[in-house]
Chain A
Amino acid sequence: MTIIGLVIVSSIIILTLIGPWVSPYDPTAINVAPPPNPSPPSADFPLGTNLLGQDMLSRLLCGGSVMLHVALLSVLFCFIIGVPIGLFASYAGGMLDKVSTIVMDSFYAFPGLVLAIAIAAMMGRGVVNMALSIAVVYVPSYFRIVRSQVLTIKELSYTEAARASGARGRTVLLRYILPNVVPSIVVVATVNFADAILTAAGLTFVGLGVGIDIPDWGWDLTQGRVLLPSGAWWVITFPGIMIVLLALGFTLIGEGLSELLTPRLEQ
């Protein structure tokens, strides 16, 4: 399962990397196709064209980079924010732990996409802003998983043994607890990649994505939605499939990894 996921994700990444060189037309240039537009798939334009006369194949080949950037950055932000807070708060315990748990749990009160839309609208367009608004939504899941792991591991004899042999709190946290938490974080991260991609697509869909001058599957979805009633199914279908594939790839990797890292699930 992990292998299939890896194949999907890596081929999409490679496709996106080589996209600008192999795509037949400039993905952002308008009216590369003669009217009428949108036109269905043909020999010259294998995936058809959209309302602006752009080649859909070129846009498909180049459009992944925004998604991938946003997903990668948001997972990175989650990591940087969620993991240290989870580690320190739950290791220290007491008030700090209570307060951070309440704050993190309060994020769950909002539906994820709505919260992301609100934050993205507040911060404005751009890849980094999109990533940040997605990160805010998913930080609590990192915090939760880290916290539950730390609470378990901190009671195990080897951390107690470390303290009993003269180790500092910092050493116990960074050398004994953190390495044992990492596998679970990696699993959450891969699953979150998929969520981040879908959320990014959602943000673009409601018009909070990047500018029109950058090829983006999410933007194509938005346009395709308008054209679908008139029978132009190709504009929305192909980018939609790509987004689903990418999300599926990351989900498969995540599921596979979690099974690999927690062998008990297999039995």
Chain B
Amino acid sequence: MILLPLLEINSLTVDYRTRRGNIRAVNNVSFTLERGETLGLVGESGSGKSTLGFSVIRLLPPPGMIVNGNIRIDGTDILGFSEEKMRSIRGKKVAFVFQDPMTSLNPVKKVGAHFVELIRTHEPTISEKEAFKRAEKALSDVGILPERINDYPHQFSGGMRQRIMMALGIVLDPELVIADEPTTALDVIVQAKILDLLKKIQDKYGMALILITHDLSIVLERCDKILVMYAGCLVEYASSVDLYRNPKHPYTQGLLKSIPDIDLAEQKLEAIPGVPPNLLNPPKGCQFWPRCSNVQEKCRIEEPPIAEVSPGHFVRCFGGGT
């Protein structure tokens, strides 16, 4: 029996239909995620990475809508699912860990109540006692003392709250965890700890993980594959080793050059000149050409196709592979 991939996204296109015009937040993105795999979704603000994440659980903030493509979980297209069916997937099969730990927990509810609510939503037959037991286990998995289950969210620090969010994410043993900038609001030390913890938990439970971030450096060593987005488009998609050693797209190359290296005494960090395009009025041709160091005549006129330059390494650039 051939095992279907856990998550398969085919030419997904998401629009925000605003009064001032149509914004294509995700433009024809495809990728596949196998069970237990880790994908780093990298892009700057407004590149569509979070939109892509929310599409997977079909919780796009209005006026966002999926206009094309499909999202398959275990081989079934979830775009055809009823709202009822979607609810049973959210939290249970696909868990979401949010960006801001300070506001991601309900301030009037004790930590334990969050777990009971979540567990009971999906498994109504479970007793409160049993739910508490599971919650305590999840909390100790993320390094929070289980006896603190009766504390309120404000009694925890930001890093601890992010751990609690992760415990909430894993308590129902989901097959996929989507972490949307899980460490952006935390300082660098806590950030590293949280990410390592996330990896540890993933290894322990064997779930797949999508790590959404604007920081390429934190996903390079932690993810199996990396998908770089720019202005809603997939620009490069490869294993992290390939991407690091052999980046093909000028944007990826620019991102890599802008990561400081601690071993080099004198290193000039290079920035990518310019700003991302206004998506209400994107440039003709390749979205990146106004900032590209290697722009050709063709780039200004035509949209480049996505090409597989080597097995599993996709680039959306005319200069790709050269």
Q: Which residues of A contact B (CB under 8 A)?
A: 156-158, 160-168, 171, 175-176, 179-180
Measured CB to CB, the nearest residue on chain A to B168 is A165
Complex: A167 Cα to B117 Cα, angstroms: 9
Q: Does B108 contact A164, Cβ atoms closer than 8 Å? A: no
* Stretch with Cβ within 8 A of A (4 or more), from B86-94, B126-134, B210-218, B223-231: B86-94
Contact of B96 among A156, A161, A171, A175 (CB under 8 A): A161
> Scoring B residues 75 to 107 as 1 if CB is less than 8 Å from chain A, else 0, what string do you get?
000000000000111111001101110011111
Known A-B contacts A157-B98, A161-B98, A179-B108; A168 and B165 likewise in contact (beta carbons under 8 Å): no
| A interface, over-half SS | helix
Closest-CB distance, A243 to chain B (whole angstroms): 36
Tell me whether B59 is interfacial, beta carbon within 8 Å. Answer: yes
Contact of A164 among B90, B100, B105 (CB under 8 A): B90
Tell me whether B12 is interfacial, beta carbon within 8 Å. Answer: no
Tell me whether B122 is interfacial, beta carbon within 8 Å. Answer: yes
Complex: A167 Cα to B59 Cα, angstroms: 12
Query: Residues of A contacting B107 with CB < 8 Å?
Result: 158, 180
Q: Which 3 A-B pairs have the closest CB atoms?
A: A165-B91, A164-B96, A166-B91
Query: Residues of B contacting A162 with CB < 8 Å?
Result: 106, 117
Measured CB to CB, the nearest residue on chain B to A176 is B106
Tell me whether B220 is interfacial, beta carbon within 8 Å. Answer: no
Query: Residues of B contacting A158 with CB < 8 Å?
Result: 103-107
Closest-CB distance, B207 to chain A (whole angstroms): 15
Complex: A21 Cα to B227 Cα, angstroms: 81
Complex: A168 Cα to B122 Cα, angstroms: 11
Tell me whether B293 is interfacial, beta carbon within 8 Å. Answer: no
Closest-CB distance, B62 to chain A (whole angstroms): 8
Complex: A167 Cα to B168 Cα, angstroms: 14
Contact of B108 among A157, A160, A165, A180 (CB under 8 A): A180
Measured CB to CB, the nearest residue on chain A to B119 is A165
Q: Does B100 contact A165, Cβ atoms closer than 8 Å? A: no
Complex: A162 Cα to B106 Cα, angstroms: 9
Complex: A179 Cα to B109 Cα, angstroms: 9
Query: Residues of B contacting A176 with CB < 8 Å?
Result: 106
Q: Which residues of B contact A (CB under 8 A)?
A: 57, 59, 87-92, 95-96, 98-100, 103-109, 117-118, 121-122, 165, 168
Q: Does A157 contact B121, Cβ atoms closer than 8 Å? A: no
Complex: A175 Cα to B57 Cα, angstroms: 22
* Besides A161-B168, A166-B118, A167-B117, 6 new A-B residue pairs in contact (Cβ under 8 A), listed by A number: A161-B96, A161-B165, A163-B59, A164-B90, A166-B122, A180-B106
Q: Does B118 contact A157, Cβ atoms closer than 8 Å? A: no
Query: Residues of A contacting B96 with CB < 8 Å?
Result: 161, 164-165
Q: Does B89 contact A166, Cβ atoms closer than 8 Å? A: yes
Measured CB to CB, the nearest residue on chain B to A168 is B87
Query: Residues of B contacting A163 with CB < 8 Å?
Result: 59, 90
Query: Residues of B contacting A175 with CB < 8 Å?
Result: 106, 109, 117
Closest-CB distance, B69 to chain A (whole angstroms): 21
Measured CB to CB, the nearest residue on chain A to B95 is A165
Query: Residues of A contacting B117 with CB < 8 Å?
Result: 162, 167, 171, 175
Complex: A171 Cα to B116 Cα, angstroms: 13
Closest-CB distance, B190 to chain A (whole angstroms): 18
Measured CB to CB, the nearest residue on chain A to B84 is A168
Q: Does A160 contact B98, Cβ atoms closer than 8 Å? A: yes
Measured CB to CB, the nearest residue on chain B to A159 is B106
Query: Residues of A contacting B100 with CB < 8 Å?
Result: 157
Q: Does B87 contact A157, Cβ atoms closer than 8 Å? A: no
Known A-B contacts A161-B165, A175-B117, A176-B106; A166 and B90 likewise in contact (beta carbons under 8 Å): yes
14 A-B residue contacts at CB 8 Å? A156-B103, A158-B106, A161-B98, A161-B105, A161-B168, A164-B96, A165-B95, A165-B121, A166-B87, A166-B88, A175-B106, A175-B109, A176-B106, A179-B108
